[in-house]
Protein backbone atom coordinates (compact mmCIF):
# COMPACT_ATOMS: atom_id res chain seq x y z
CA UNK A 1 0.00 0.00 0.00
CA UNK A 2 1.26 3.44 -0.96
CA UNK A 3 1.04 5.74 2.04
CA UNK A 4 1.75 9.43 1.73
CA UNK A 5 2.30 11.61 4.78
CA UNK A 6 1.63 15.35 4.73
CA UNK A 7 0.73 18.16 7.10
CA UNK A 8 -2.99 18.53 7.80
CA UNK A 9 -5.05 21.55 6.75
CA UNK A 10 -8.38 22.69 8.13
CA UNK A 11 -10.08 21.29 5.00
CA UNK A 12 -9.19 17.83 6.34
CA UNK A 13 -11.30 18.28 9.49
CA UNK A 14 -14.41 16.39 8.29
CA UNK A 15 -12.34 13.34 7.31
CA UNK A 16 -10.17 13.50 10.43
CA UNK A 17 -13.12 13.73 12.79
CA UNK A 18 -15.02 10.92 11.04
CA UNK A 19 -11.94 8.71 11.27
CA UNK A 20 -11.51 9.62 14.95
CA UNK A 21 -15.16 8.88 15.82
CA UNK A 22 -15.22 5.57 13.91
CA UNK A 23 -11.89 4.35 15.30
CA UNK A 24 -12.82 5.14 18.91
CA UNK A 25 -16.14 3.33 18.43
CA UNK A 26 -14.79 0.33 16.56
CA UNK A 27 -11.29 -0.14 18.01
CA UNK A 28 -11.09 1.47 21.47
CA UNK A 29 -14.44 -0.08 22.39
CA UNK A 30 -12.50 -3.29 23.08
CA UNK A 31 -11.04 -1.69 26.20
CA UNK A 32 -13.46 1.01 27.36
CA UNK A 33 -17.13 1.02 28.38
CA UNK A 34 -20.00 2.22 26.17
CA UNK A 35 -20.28 5.41 28.23
CA UNK A 36 -16.57 6.11 27.97
CA UNK A 37 -16.67 5.51 24.21
CA UNK A 38 -19.65 7.84 23.86
CA UNK A 39 -17.89 10.64 25.75
CA UNK A 40 -14.57 10.12 23.99
CA UNK A 41 -16.01 9.90 20.45
CA UNK A 42 -18.15 13.02 21.02
CA UNK A 43 -14.83 14.91 20.92
CA UNK A 44 -15.20 14.59 17.13
CA UNK A 45 -17.89 17.28 17.20
CA UNK A 46 -15.68 20.00 18.66
CA UNK A 47 -14.59 21.46 15.32
CA UNK A 48 -13.00 24.50 16.95
CA UNK A 49 -10.67 22.29 18.97
CA UNK A 50 -9.59 20.36 15.84
CA UNK A 51 -8.97 23.64 14.06
CA UNK A 52 -6.76 24.77 16.95
CA UNK A 53 -4.85 21.49 16.94
CA UNK A 54 -4.18 21.77 13.19
CA UNK A 55 -3.17 25.42 13.44
CA UNK A 56 -1.01 25.18 16.57
CA UNK A 57 0.53 21.72 16.56
CA UNK A 58 2.63 19.64 14.18
CA UNK A 59 -0.32 17.72 12.73
CA UNK A 60 0.19 15.00 10.11
CA UNK A 61 -2.20 12.93 8.04
CA UNK A 62 -1.47 9.65 6.24
CA UNK A 63 -3.24 9.20 2.91
CA UNK A 64 -3.74 6.44 0.41
CA UNK A 65 -5.68 7.00 -2.82
CA UNK A 66 -6.83 10.42 -1.56
CA UNK A 67 -8.34 8.90 1.59
CA UNK A 68 -7.07 9.83 5.03
CA UNK A 69 -6.19 6.58 6.80
CA UNK A 70 -4.42 7.95 9.86
CA UNK A 71 -3.34 11.06 11.70
CA UNK A 72 -0.92 12.09 14.43
CA UNK A 73 0.02 15.30 16.19
CA UNK A 74 2.79 16.64 18.33
CA UNK A 75 2.03 19.28 20.96
CA UNK A 76 4.51 21.62 22.66
CA UNK A 77 7.50 20.20 20.80
CA UNK A 78 7.74 16.75 22.36
CA UNK A 79 4.32 15.72 23.61
CA UNK A 80 2.91 13.11 21.22
CA UNK A 81 -0.74 13.90 21.85
CA UNK A 82 -2.75 12.00 19.23
CA UNK A 83 -2.39 8.95 17.01
CA UNK A 84 -5.36 7.35 15.27
CA UNK A 85 -5.58 4.93 12.35
CA UNK A 86 -8.69 4.27 10.25
CA UNK A 87 -10.67 1.30 11.58
CA UNK A 88 -10.39 -0.52 8.24
CA UNK A 89 -6.61 0.04 7.93
CA UNK A 90 -5.34 -1.25 11.27
CA UNK A 91 -2.05 -3.21 11.33
CA UNK A 92 -0.78 -1.98 7.96
CA UNK A 93 2.16 -0.07 9.42
CA UNK A 94 0.44 3.35 9.13
CA UNK A 95 0.92 4.36 12.78
CA UNK A 96 4.57 3.25 12.63
CA UNK A 97 5.15 5.57 9.66
CA UNK A 98 3.49 8.51 11.40
CA UNK A 99 5.42 7.84 14.62
CA UNK A 100 8.76 7.85 12.81
CA UNK A 101 8.08 11.30 11.37
CA UNK A 102 6.73 12.67 14.67
CA UNK A 103 9.84 11.42 16.49
CA UNK A 104 12.14 12.88 13.81
CA UNK A 105 10.45 16.26 14.15
CA UNK A 106 10.93 16.28 17.95
CA UNK A 107 14.56 15.26 17.48
CA UNK A 108 15.19 17.92 14.83
CA UNK A 109 13.74 20.49 17.21
CA UNK A 110 16.35 19.49 19.78
CA UNK A 111 14.34 17.33 22.19
CA UNK A 112 15.97 14.28 23.75
CA UNK A 113 12.78 12.75 25.05
CA UNK A 114 9.24 12.27 23.75
CA UNK A 115 6.21 11.65 25.97
CA UNK A 116 2.67 10.54 25.41
CA UNK A 117 -0.57 9.61 27.18
CA UNK A 118 -1.72 6.39 25.61
CA UNK A 119 -4.88 4.34 25.73
CA UNK A 120 -4.99 0.72 26.91
CA UNK A 121 -5.61 -0.12 23.22
CA UNK A 122 -2.48 1.66 21.99
CA UNK A 123 -0.06 0.52 24.72
CA UNK A 124 1.16 -2.63 22.87
CA UNK A 125 1.93 -0.47 19.84
CA UNK A 126 4.00 2.00 21.90
CA UNK A 127 5.80 -0.80 23.75
CA UNK A 128 6.64 -2.29 20.37
CA UNK A 129 8.28 1.06 19.54
CA UNK A 130 10.41 1.08 22.73
CA UNK A 131 8.34 3.44 24.87
CA UNK A 132 8.50 2.80 28.64
CA UNK A 133 5.51 3.15 30.93
CA UNK A 134 6.13 5.90 33.49
CA UNK A 135 2.81 5.38 35.20
CA UNK A 136 -0.70 4.12 34.87
CA UNK A 137 -3.14 6.96 35.48
CA UNK A 138 -6.76 7.92 35.59
CA UNK A 139 -7.57 10.81 33.32
CA UNK A 140 -10.83 12.74 33.56
CA UNK A 141 -12.41 13.83 30.25
CA UNK A 142 -15.74 15.67 30.47
CA UNK A 143 -16.41 14.21 33.90
CA UNK A 144 -15.67 10.63 32.81
CA UNK A 145 -12.64 8.74 34.15
CA UNK A 146 -10.38 6.90 31.71
CA UNK A 147 -7.53 4.60 32.56
CA UNK A 148 -4.46 5.17 30.44
CA UNK A 149 -0.65 5.25 30.58
CA UNK A 150 1.97 7.94 30.51
CA UNK A 151 4.83 6.67 28.37
CA UNK A 152 8.17 8.09 27.32
CA UNK A 153 11.11 7.32 25.09
CA UNK A 154 14.64 8.70 24.86
CA UNK A 155 15.24 9.93 21.32
C1 LIG B 1 -2.64 2.00 18.19
C2 LIG B 1 -2.82 2.27 16.71
C3 LIG B 1 -2.60 3.74 16.41
C4 LIG B 1 -1.78 1.42 15.93
O5 LIG B 1 -1.93 1.67 14.54
P6 LIG B 1 -1.53 0.65 13.39
O7 LIG B 1 -1.36 1.41 12.12
O8 LIG B 1 -2.50 -0.47 13.37
O9 LIG B 1 -0.12 0.15 13.91
P10 LIG B 1 1.05 -0.54 13.04
O11 LIG B 1 0.43 -1.34 11.96
O12 LIG B 1 2.04 0.50 12.64
O13 LIG B 1 1.66 -1.50 14.16
C14 LIG B 1 3.03 -1.76 14.27
C15 LIG B 1 3.29 -2.81 15.30
O16 LIG B 1 2.83 -2.41 16.60
C17 LIG B 1 2.30 -3.54 17.30
N18 LIG B 1 0.84 -3.39 17.48
C19 LIG B 1 0.01 -2.51 16.88
N20 LIG B 1 -1.25 -2.67 17.32
C21 LIG B 1 -1.22 -3.66 18.21
C22 LIG B 1 -2.20 -4.31 19.00
N23 LIG B 1 -3.48 -3.94 18.99
N24 LIG B 1 -1.82 -5.32 19.81
C25 LIG B 1 -0.54 -5.74 19.84
N26 LIG B 1 0.46 -5.17 19.11
C27 LIG B 1 0.11 -4.14 18.30
C28 LIG B 1 2.55 -4.74 16.42
O29 LIG B 1 3.80 -5.28 16.76
C30 LIG B 1 2.57 -4.12 15.04
O31 LIG B 1 3.31 -4.85 14.10
P32 LIG B 1 2.62 -6.10 13.35
O33 LIG B 1 1.28 -5.69 12.86
O34 LIG B 1 3.60 -6.40 12.25
O35 LIG B 1 2.54 -7.19 14.38
C36 LIG B 1 -4.22 1.85 16.20
O37 LIG B 1 -4.51 0.54 16.67
C38 LIG B 1 -5.35 2.75 16.65
O39 LIG B 1 -5.79 3.63 15.92
N40 LIG B 1 -5.89 2.50 17.85
C41 LIG B 1 -7.05 3.20 18.36
C42 LIG B 1 -6.74 4.64 18.68
C43 LIG B 1 -5.85 4.82 19.87
O44 LIG B 1 -6.05 4.21 20.92
N45 LIG B 1 -4.89 5.70 19.69
C46 LIG B 1 -4.05 6.14 20.75
C47 LIG B 1 -4.74 7.27 21.40
S48 LIG B 1 -4.11 7.61 22.94
Instruction: Dump pLDDT digits (tens) for 39-89.
Output: 999 999 999 999 999 999 999 999 999 999 999 999 999 999 999 999 999
Ligand 1 atom nearest to 92, measured from its CA: 11
Tens-digit pLDDT profile for residues 11-32: 999 999 999 999 999 999 999 9
Domain encompassing residue 48: 4-111
- Does the Cβ of 96 fall within 6 Å of ligand 1? yes
Q: Which of 151, 144, 36, 17 is nearest to 84 (CA)?
A: 17
Report the number of distinct structural domains present in the chain.
1
1 has pLDDT over 90:
no
Residue 32 inside a domain? The answer is yes
Is the residue at 126 inside a domain?
Answer: no
Report yes or no on 72 lying in a domain: yes
> Is the distance from CB of 39 to CB of 144 less than 8 angstroms?
yes
Ligand 1 atom closest to the Cα of residue 82 is 47
Strand 113-119 versus strand 79-85 pairing type: parallel
Amino acid sequence: MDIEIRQATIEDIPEITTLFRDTVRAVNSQHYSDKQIQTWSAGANDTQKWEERINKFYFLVAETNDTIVGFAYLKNGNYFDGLFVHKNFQRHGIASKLLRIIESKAMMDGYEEIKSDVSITALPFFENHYYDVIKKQKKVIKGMTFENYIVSKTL
